[in-house]
Amino acid sequence: MLPDNRFKNYRILVVDDEQRMARFIRLNLEQDGFRVTEAYNGTQALDKLRTSLPDLMLLDVMLPDFDGFEVLRTIRKMSPVPVIMVTAKSEEDERIRGLELGADDYVTKPFSPRELVSRVRAVLRRSELSTESAHGVIDVDERLKIDFDRHEIWVEGKLVSLRPTEYRLLYYLVQNAGWVVSHDQILTNVWGYEYQDQPHYVRLYINYLRQKLELDPANPKYILTERGIGYRFVDFKREKAGEGPPAEPVSD
């Protein structure tokens, strides 16, 4: 895999109590042009998060002082930094727990250097895209306002905080308002083609958005489920202006 100059000198914080593993990860990331800092327990990880201001964190679940889930819970109270969990277990419950706590992705040991670098790049791309300027202010209705220029979401007059992946997912759904977009389309355009076998990501993050945007998440008004196909964001444009849907769903 050739280095991607787009991410050259991005700062990665590797948190793993196995120093040999931390150095293995560091070596492979540095070969791809990243700048890497190491931490060997949760306390060091939080200290270095404050001082080194990483662009992404690789966080091992098994740490000697307190586990990676507890570290992640603390991180999410202080920083939106993208986090990839590193685990020796492949159980779905553990993966979902990390995602529910705010992880952006996970890798399971043992992993290849190519897989690791690919996932780091993919998460950084999503983070980068989530902060790019779209255009305009959208008043979906009297409750929901989306300001893509300022990257702000307002619900009932209150500013709602979205994590980068949540923002990117909302952006893609709103781009295609009125259209049904499939799970595969969402995975490709929000997470990347590498994630085609991870449909639970879509369900989980759709639920996150509904919890933050909907008056009644169990009976959503904005993000509608089309069973067996995917999801559709309410066609606010047609409702307001009598306009038809776009010629075809929008993709990157």
Of 214, 146, 226, which is closest to residue 181 (Cα–Cα)?
226
Of the pLDDT bands very low, low, confident and very high (cuts 50, 70, 90), residue 133 is very low
Q: Are 145 and 212 contacting, i.e. CB atoms less than 8 angstroms apart?
A: no
| Rounded distance between C-alpha atoms, residue 124 and residue 135, angstroms | 22
Residue ranges, CATH 3.40.50.2300, the chain: 5-130
According to the model, what pLDDT value does residue 165 have? 84
| Rounded distance between C-alpha atoms, residue 231 and residue 227, angstroms | 8
- Checking if the pLDDT of 69 tops 50, the result is yes
According to the model, what pLDDT value does residue 2 have? 52
Of the pLDDT bands very low, low, confident and very high (cuts 50, 70, 90), residue 251 is low
Strands 137-139 and 83-87: unpaired
Fold of the domain spanning 5-130 = Rossmann fold (3.40.50)
Mean pLDDT of the chain: 84
According to the model, what pLDDT value does residue 170 have? 92
Residue ranges, CATH 1.10.10.10, the chain: 133-241
Of 47, 24, 194, which is closest to residue 119 (Cα–Cα)?
194
- Checking if the pLDDT of 34 tops 70, the result is yes
| Rounded distance between C-alpha atoms, residue 101 and residue 37, angstroms | 23
Which residues, in sequence order, are CB contacts of 213 under 8 Å at separation 6+? 144, 153, 155, 160, 170, 222, 223
Of the pLDDT bands very low, low, confident and very high (cuts 50, 70, 90), residue 247 is very low
In 3-state terms the chain splits into helix, strand, coil percentages (rounded to 5) of 45, 20, 35
- Checking if the pLDDT of 183 tops 60, the result is yes
Per-residue pLDDT averaged across 29-35, rounded?
A: 91
Q: Which residues pair with 223 in a beta bridge?
A: 233
Of the pLDDT bands very low, low, confident and very high (cuts 50, 70, 90), residue 145 is very high
Q: Span 133-241: which CATH code?
A: 1.10.10.10
Per-residue pLDDT averaged across 120-134, rounded?
A: 70
Q: What is the pLDDT of residues 189-242, one digit of tens each?
A: 888 766 777 888 899 999 999 999 999 999 999 999 998 889 999 987 665 555
The three-class DSSP label of residue 188 is helix
CA distances from 133 to 5, 10, 37, 168 (A): 22, 21, 30, 11
CB atoms within 10 A of CB 85: 25
Of the pLDDT bands very low, low, confident and very high (cuts 50, 70, 90), residue 30 is very high
